[in-house]
Structure 1
Amino acid sequence: MILYERKDKETGKEYAYRVLKENIMSLELKPGELLSELELAEKLNLSRTPIREVIMRLKSEHLIEVKPQSGTYVSLIDIDLIDEALFMRFAVEEKVLKLACESFPRETMIELEKNVFAQEIIANMEGGETEFHKLDTGFHELLFSGVNKKHIWASILNISTHYNRMRLLTQKKDSKKSVVEQHREFLNVINNKDISKVEELIDKHMKFSMKSWDYLIKHDAEISKYFK
């Protein structure tokens, strides 16, 4: 588990929550991994009370599972929760991209272009899945922010924890270059205000990684053990 530097004015409970959630979302703590309240308290230099409260909060977010007489575990990835996240992404992101075609700030477009340029660099390197995943997420966050829907993006992130763990888990199997090409298409659609291409682009982008997921879950031993 990676221990991050504690922020100014961050309470012990806030720190523990941030560290645990980021380690779960980055797969440093693997799905199904057993957690010990005592060990977590020692590593984070906290009492067990805030650790217990954080575990209950993460349990309510479906990231931790508490099994009576067994222990506390990082939750396995749930396909049903992935489906819910995809449903929301399909419904909302299409509308957001159409809004972007109507009006989009130049300064945010510049940030999107910088983001895609960074993606291209990582895509041509070995490894870098975690960094590429952060850039990918940041790209869509900028898109929502550019049409004044950043709080909706925050809501999508909250419901997408299992989806995003799946994306990161399978990032090694996906073609990063294809993702970059699709993000370039987003930029072209916005710059050309080509609303007619939005539905097709969103459909292609959202389904790109999904094509291989079913096979990987059923046949890839390294991946299949992380699912319900």
Structure 2
Amino acid sequence: MAVQQNTDEIYHILEDEICSLAILPGEALSENQLCKRFGISRTPIRSVLQRLEQNHFVQIIPCKGTIVTTIDPSVVDQIIYQRVAVECMVFRDFVQICSPMEIIEIEHLYDLLQQAAEGREHPESFDFNHFLACDLEMHHYWFHKTGKEYLWHLLTLPQADYSRFIRLDVVGARNVPSVLSEHAEMLRILREKDLNAIEPLFKVHLYGGMTRMGGKIYSDEYRIYFNHS
């Protein structure tokens, strides 16, 4: 049981470090270094690496070692497509049933998002993890209120491609103005029950990262992160 607990903890540590880009695409993960770092033998470390490979965070190459995967833009596009389809339906349901008090609660979450955006003029000290958490909490609200918690869990599971892509978009706070204005539009839709505006907004909002990155994924700055094959 203790070994299982250790491997679960190590898995989540490495998964988080890959998702947060603390470990970069293309980096090699050394079994020996991981054994030394976590004070555990090679067998459980290999189990962790195999689990990471099953979830597409690494590739184990015989006679070469374990390499962190790059981001596949086509997979990112499909995940965004899925989320647009699901979240538009969930938000539409919420708009039609939300109470004045729930709108006030959403306004409070938006205020927290605005507060999290303060200091974005200094990217080196900007807490993008906190900003991203506030962003997600606003979205989570309508899944919770419509009884779609399981769907939210599925949509927000760590993804080798999408999770890292979102982090790239947030780094440097380049997406903050767009995120704030789009969340403000969500509030307007809620207040006015403007159902026709939902799908156009969520397409813009959820595809925003793809739009902002655009051809940059082929630039020298971002080339290492992406699979261009």
TM-score bracket relative to the smaller structure: 0.7 to 0.9
* Aligned-residue offset at 1:57: 1.3
- Find the counterpart in structure 2 of residue 5 from structure 1: none
Counterparts of 1:22 and 1:11, CA distance in 2: 17
User: What is the distance in 2 between the residues matched to 1:138 and 1:18?
Assistant: 21
Which of 37, 41, 47 is the equivalent residue of 1:47?
41
Secondary structure (helix, strand or coil) at the match of 1:30 reads coil
CA positional deviation for 1:97? 0.9
In the alignment, is the contact (CA less than 8 A) between 1:111 and 1:142 conserved in 2?
Answer: no
Indicate the SS of the match to 1:28.
Answer: coil
SS at match of 1:145: helix
Unaligned runs of 5+ in 2: none
Instruction: Name which of structure 1's ranges 48-57 and 90-99 shifts more when overlaid on structure 2.
Output: 48-57
- For the structure 1 residues 76 and 192, does the alpha-carbon distance in structure 2 shift closer, same or farther, using more than 3 Å as the test? same
The corresponding residue for 1:19 is 13
Structure 1 pair 162–110 and aligned structure 2 pair: CA distance change class (3 A): farther
Give the aligned residue type for 1:86: I
Hey, what's the Cα distance between the residues in 1 that align with 2:102 and 2:160? 26
2:31–2:45 contact (8 Å) kept in structure 1: yes
CA contact (8 A) 2:28 2:65 kept: yes
Structure-to-structure mapping, 1:11-90, within 5 angstroms: 11-90=5-84
Work out the percentage of aligned pairs sharing the same amino acid.
28
Amino acid corresponding to residue 95 of structure 1 in structure 2: M
CA contact (8 A) 1:120 1:177 kept: no
Q: Taking structure 1 as reference, are residues 17 and 113 closer, same or farther at Cα in structure 2, changes over 3 Å only?
A: farther
Query: What's the Cα RMSD here?
Result: 2.5
More relative contact order, 1 or 2 (CA 8 Å, 6+ apart): 2
Indicate the residue corresponding to 1:151 in structure 2: 150
Runs of 4+ in 1 over 4 A off after TM superposition: 105-111
Matches within 5 A, 1:48-197: 48-104=42-98, 109=103, 112-125=106-119, 126=122, 127-158=126-157, 160-171=159-170, 172=172, 174-197=174-197
